[in-house]
Structure formats: structure tokens, C-alpha cells
Copies of this chain bind each other. A is one copy, B any other.
Amino acid sequence: MATDFEALADRLREHGHKLTQPRRAILQVLLAASKPLSPAEIQARGQVFCADLGLVTVYRTLEVMEALDVVRPVHLADGCHGYALSSPGHTHHVVCERCHAVVEIVGCDLGDFLDRVAQRTGYAITGHWLEISGLCADCQRADKAV
């Protein structure tokens, strides 16, 4: 994993922010997450590390971390507004509908597609977000077994 806890913690310290228990917890959660999380999800998971982590703190911390490019907001198809670590480089993931297992797709091969889009629309493409859902190998087997 290219981004470890200390590197992110340093990023906060460098910018004069304190490294408090709630913030440690939130970082832990985001490091462990395999998909973008809503503030409420971050709070729930964070309470494992910091029992009385408040939702307000999650919002304020995300705000700080977003300004520092530690996290980035992700727009999901359903409820919108999830947060994921903004890892350098660029990856997409495939999420299993059944068991929610996640695989990262390293090396984003979307370039050709985006080039075509740029040509066809006249837009200068600056960013994209892709989320793929499917059934993982295990759940496909489980399906057949029934």
C-alpha cells in the first residue's frame, strides 16, 4: 500500500493541524475501506477506534482532509457524497453486488474511450469517476450451486 497511516498523519501535521484521536480513527477507517464511505458510515466504523466519535467531527475532519487532498469526495449513483482517500494515481474498483468484495483495477485503460469522448463532444476532459458492479467468482459459483 503506497499510502500508509504515517504519511497521511504527517500531511496533517505539516499544515499545522493536530493529530487527535478522532482524526486517527477516521484515517484508520478510510485506510481500511475498500469503497467510498458516507460520513455516517465513517462515524460508525470509526467508533471502533474512538468510542465517542461524533458525526459533526467526521464532517469537520473530512473538510480539513479534503482541503489537504487527503480525501476526495466521490459521487455515487444512489445517495451521492461518499469519501475515499485520494490516492496518488488512479484506480477504479469493481464491487460485488452480493458480498461486497472489492477488486481494484490497476492501470486505468479508459484513455481511448475518453479520447473519443473528447473528440465527439469538444470537451477537454479533466476527470472521471467510474464504479462497476458485478458478481465475484465466489458468488457466481454460489448462484450455480442453487
Contacts and interface: CB of A to CB of B under 8 A. Distances in A.
A126 interface: yes
Interface string A108-124: 01100110111011111
A125 B117 contact: no
Contacts of A123: 94, 96, 103, 132, 134-137
A66 to B, nearest CB: 13
A40 to B, nearest CB: 16
Nearest to A96: B123
A97 interface: yes
How many copies of this chain sit in the oligomeric assembly? 2
Contact of A116 (B109, B116, B117): B109
Interface stretch (A7-15, A16-24, A73-81): A73-81
A80 B77 contact: no
A57 interface: no
Contacts of A89: none
Contacts of A134: 118, 121, 123-127
Interface string A129-146: 111111111001000000
Nearest 3 A/B pairs, CB to CB: A123-B134, A122-B137, A125-B134
18 contacts: A75-B76, A75-B131, A80-B81, A94-B121, A97-B126, A103-B121, A105-B121, A110-B113, A113-B113, A121-B134, A123-B134, A123-B135, A125-B132, A126-B134, A128-B133, A129-B129, A129-B131, A130-B130
